[in-house]
Homo-oligomer: A and B are copies of this chain.
Amino acid sequence: MVAPVAVDKLLDRVESLLDRGDTGAVVDILRRLHPADSSEILYRIPAEAQNLVMQELPWEEVADVLEELDEEEMVEVVSGLTVSELADVLDEMEPDMAADLIGELDERTTEEILTEMEAAAGVAPLLAYPEDSAGGIMNSPRHMLQRHMTAGQAMRFLRKHYEDAHDLYYLYVLDGGGSTVPVEAAPGQVGQGRLVGIVSLRALLLAEPDARLDEIMDEEVLTAPADADQEEVARILARYNLLAVPIVDEEGRLLGIVTVDDVVDVLEEEATEDIYRLAQVNEEAVVFSPLPQAVRARMPWLVVNLGTALISSTVVAQFAGTIAAVAILAALMPVVAAQGGNAGNQSMTIIVRSLALGQIDLKDFWAVFRHELGVGILHGLALGALVAGVIFIWLGNPILSAVIGTAMLGNFLVAAVVGVLVPMTLRRFGVDPAFGSSMMVTASTDILGFTIFLGLASYFVAWLV
């Protein structure tokens, strides 16, 4: 029985070993851990120590550890390696991860690295695919079965090439044009084989040894193109409970395989991105970002919001005369604005998430719009009445009560409209619906909320003083 490792405690020990200059002991610790844990420790020790440690590890193990980090982290950790050391490490990495790392380097370093690498032919084609496409996350198809193999040949072939069940997601079958020679295509390179089917392990085990694979395979295979959005592929896999999705070109030739462990990472990343964007934080933020990076991820949004807030304040300034006469309006106007902002962000968030999960799309616009308007009217009537009641009890002025109640209802309608319109419009123009939605919804409910409330108040000002 093995429990997850307490990385923090280990990190303390590693740091005290490093203080004593005992790199050897640190290397021993890292080698005993799962790469998911040793990568965290390696990433968190000082740069010089990182370099010392990597020099004492076999490149293959350095590669395993790096594969657990994300691109930015990888680049940071390898920054002390020479070009030829880095090329050696990249040769040992999964091609898709190597391509991710190389994608972060500048053009000249990339060229140097590819010249030095032995496995360059397997990695270079992957660099053509955007990082967030199916091509960008697919793995090497490696050793594929072919339709003219017999079950017996396939068993011997698997026995030879597959290290453990973790490598073995599905048994895909290629059309190698009559040859029984295994296809060893580099990922992203078009192999000889068109994908023609999938064989279950059980079918393979049960079959007569001389049965041909194309007699026992299932020809229905769900595939995706290399330029598909990584999130779409992730959703297909999640929807059909698959362990892997094969990626094919237009002729149906196998380019690579997207596996469930990559998909889990994609879904986590995409959720984090949405959560951060909804809170107006750029997605590269991490909890302990160095200050300049933290400021870069957040300040632009604060500046934009300052702009919209100042626009709202010029709206309020138009009503300075009314406010000077009835100062309590200043205390009440944020209530109307805040309720609209909250309701608008509720609608907007539900729509953003439902779009992301594929539960709705653009053609559902009117259905969603009617639904949110219905919710907005109910909320507006209920909370408008509630606030009118509270204000009447507090201040005793029935006209003021009616004004705030009506303004609240109005702002709930504004909230419903912009809560739907903003994310749907962004999606319509191919922008992430989470991007900037909060800002636009809040600006609308502030500006229109102030206008409706102070406008009504100005009209009835004679009854308010």
Task: Give the Cβ gap from A136 to chain B, nearest Cβ, in Å.
Answer: 18
Task: Give the Cβ gap from A209 to chain B, nearest Cβ, in Å.
Answer: 13
Chain B minimum-CB-distance residue to A263? B264
Q: Which of A74-82, A107-115, A116-124, A311-319 participates in binding chain B? A: A311-319
Residues of B within 8 A of A312 (CB): 334-335
**Among B202, B240, B306, B338, which residue has its beta carbon within 8 angstroms of that of A386?**
B306
Asked if B335 and A330 sit within 8 Å, CB to CB, the answer is no
Chain B minimum-CB-distance residue to A196? B1
Residues of B within 8 A of A268 (CB): 238, 267, 271, 357
Please, how many angstroms separate the alpha-carbon atoms of A446 and B335 in the complex?
11
Please, how many angstroms separate the alpha-carbon atoms of A288 and B369 in the complex?
11
Asked if B346 and A298 sit within 8 Å, CB to CB, the answer is yes
Asked if A331 and B349 sit within 8 Å, CB to CB, the answer is no
Q: Is A428 an interface residue (CB 8 A)?
A: no
Please, how many angstroms separate the alpha-carbon atoms of A268 and B272 in the complex?
11
Asked if A332 and B349 sit within 8 Å, CB to CB, the answer is no
Query: Given the interface contacts A303-B386, A371-B288, does A164 sit within 8 Å of B295 by beta carbon?
Result: no
Chain B minimum-CB-distance residue to A163? B202
Interface string of A125-164 (1 = CB under 8 A from B): 0000000000000000000000000000001001100111
Residues of B within 8 A of A240 (CB): 34, 36
Q: Is A392 an interface residue (CB 8 A)?
A: no
**Among B298, B317, B324, which residue has its beta carbon within 8 angstroms of that of A343?**
B298
Task: Give the Cβ gap from A142 to chain B, nearest Cβ, in Å.
Answer: 14
Interface string of A250-293 (1 = CB under 8 A from B): 00100000001101110110011011101111000111100100
Please, how many angstroms separate the alpha-carbon atoms of A315 and B334 in the complex?
12
**Among B158, B260, B280, B286, which residue has its beta carbon within 8 angstroms of that of A346?**
B280
Interface string of A355-379 (1 = CB under 8 A from B): 0010110010001100100110011
Q: Is A223 an interface residue (CB 8 A)?
A: yes
Task: Give the Cβ gap from A63 to chain B, nearest Cβ, in Å.
Answer: 15
**Among B1, B260, B306, which residue has its beta carbon within 8 angstroms of that of A248?**
B1
Residues of B within 8 A of A310 (CB): 335, 387, 390
**Among B200, B222, B261, which residue has its beta carbon within 8 angstroms of that of A4?**
B222
Q: Is A327 an interface residue (CB 8 A)?
A: yes
Asked if A275 and B278 sit within 8 Å, CB to CB, the answer is yes
Asked if A320 and B313 sit within 8 Å, CB to CB, the answer is no
Copies in the complex: 2
Please, how many angstroms separate the alpha-carbon atoms of A195 and B155 in the complex?
28
Chain B minimum-CB-distance residue to A206? B159
Q: Which of A96-104, A168-176, A181-189 participates in binding chain B? A: A168-176
Residues of B within 8 A of A353 (CB): 272, 275-276
Q: Is A302 an interface residue (CB 8 A)?
A: yes
Please, how many angstroms separate the alpha-carbon atoms of A375 and B333 in the complex?
30
Asked if B287 and A359 sit within 8 Å, CB to CB, the answer is yes
Residues of B within 8 A of A390 (CB): 310
Query: Given the interface contacts A299-B382, A301-B342, A357-B268, does A241 sit within 8 Å of B261 by beta carbon?
Result: yes
Task: Give the Cβ gap from A362 to chain B, nearest Cβ, in Å.
Answer: 12
Q: Is A179 an interface residue (CB 8 A)?
A: no
Asked if B359 and A330 sit within 8 Å, CB to CB, the answer is no
**Among B280, B303, B367, which residue has its beta carbon within 8 angstroms of that of A288?**
B367
Q: Is A351 an interface residue (CB 8 A)?
A: yes
**Among B162, B320, B328, B375, which residue has its beta carbon within 8 angstroms of that of A328?**
B320
Asked if A349 and B279 sit within 8 Å, CB to CB, the answer is yes
Please, how many angstroms separate the alpha-carbon atoms of A407 and B280 in the complex?
22
**Known contacts A294-B375, A298-B379, A306-B383; can you find 15 more A-B pairs with CB under 8 A?**
A3-B223, A4-B222, A36-B241, A155-B205, A165-B169, A165-B202, A275-B278, A279-B350, A287-B351, A294-B371, A299-B383, A306-B339, A315-B331, A317-B328, A324-B324
Q: List 12 A-B contacts (CB under 8 A).
A: A4-B236, A163-B200, A238-B265, A275-B349, A287-B351, A291-B375, A294-B371, A305-B338, A310-B387, A317-B331, A321-B327, A327-B330
